Amino acid sequence: MTAAPAPAATTDTKATGNPRSRVIIASLVGTSIEFYDFYVYATAAVLVFPTLFFPNEDPTASQLSSFVTFALAFFARPVGSIVFGHFGDRVGRKATLVASLLVMGTATFLIGCLPTFASIGIWAPVLLAVMRFAQGVGLGGEWSGAALLATENAPKGKRGVFGSMPQLGAPIGFLLANGLFIAINAAMPAGADGTPNADFQAWGWRIPFLLSAVLVIVGLYVRFKLVESTVFRGVQESGSVAKVPLGRVFRTSWKALIVGTFGMVATYVLFYFMTTFTLSYGTTAAEAGPLVPKVGLGYSRGEFLTLLMIGVVFFGVFTPIAGWLADKYGRRRTLIPTTIGIALFGLTFQFWFAASTGPITVVTFLIVGLSLMGLTFGPMGALLPELFPTNVRYTGSAIAYNVASILGASLAPTIALALWQPDGTIVWVGLYLTLAAVVTVVALFFVRETKGAGLDEADAAGSPDAAPADVRA
Encode 122-149 in three state secondary structure.
CHHHHHHHHHHHHHHHHHHHHHHHHHHH
According to the model, what pLDDT value does residue 288 have? 61
Average pLDDT score over residue span 242-252: 90
Give the H/E segment covering residue 25.
helix 20-47
Least confident stretch, 115-124, 207-216, 289-298 = 289-298
Q: Quick check: 212 and 108 in contact, CB under 8 A?
A: yes
According to the model, what pLDDT value does residue 463 have? 47
Full 3-state SS string of 281-327: HHHCCCCCECCECCCCCCCCHHHHHHHHHHHHHHHHHHHHHHHHHHH
Say whether pTM exceeds 0.75.
yes
Average pLDDT score over residue span 280-290: 75
- Give me the percent of the chain exceeding a pLDDT of 90: 39
**pLDDT tens-digit readout, 286-300:** 766 555 567 888 888
User: What is the Cβ-side half-sphere exposure of residue 460, based on CA atoms within 13 angstroms?
Assistant: 9
pLDDT interval class at 284 (50, 70, 90)? confident
Residue 314, CA distances (Å) to 103, 171, 311, 400 in order: 31, 9, 5, 26
pLDDT interval class at 57 (50, 70, 90)? low
pLDDT at position 334 over 50: yes
- Which carries the bigger pLDDT value, residue 230 or residue 59? 230
pLDDT interval class at 390 (50, 70, 90)? confident
**pLDDT tens-digit readout, 27-39:** 888 888 888 887 8
User: What is the Cβ-side half-sphere exposure of residue 355, based on CA atoms within 13 angstroms?
Assistant: 6
Question: What whole-number distance in Å separates Cα of residue 439 and Cα of residue 471?
Answer: 17
Strand partners, 289: 292
According to the model, what pLDDT value does residue 24 have? 87
According to the model, what pLDDT value does residue 256 have? 93
Q: Quick check: 125 and 117 in contact, CB under 8 A?
A: yes
pLDDT interval class at 337 (50, 70, 90)? very high
Question: What whole-number distance in Å separates Cα of residue 265 and Cα of residue 433?
Answer: 10
pLDDT at position 471 over 50: no
pLDDT interval class at 279 (50, 70, 90)? confident
pLDDT interval class at 311 (50, 70, 90)? very high
> What per-residue string of b and e applies to 353-373 under the rule 16 or more CB within 10 Å gives b?
bbebeeeeebbbbbbbbbbbb
pLDDT at position 4 over 50: no
Give the amino acid at 60.
Answer: T
Question: What whole-number distance in Å separates Cα of residue 189 and Cα of residue 178?
Answer: 15
User: What is the Cβ-side half-sphere exposure of residue 45, based on CA atoms within 13 angstroms?
Assistant: 24
Give the mean pLDDT of the chain: 85
Taking each helix axis from N to C terminus, what angle separates 93-111 and 206-224, rounded to the nearest 10 degrees?
160
Residues 6 or more apart whose Cβ sits within 8 Å of residue 235? 6, 241, 390, 391, 459
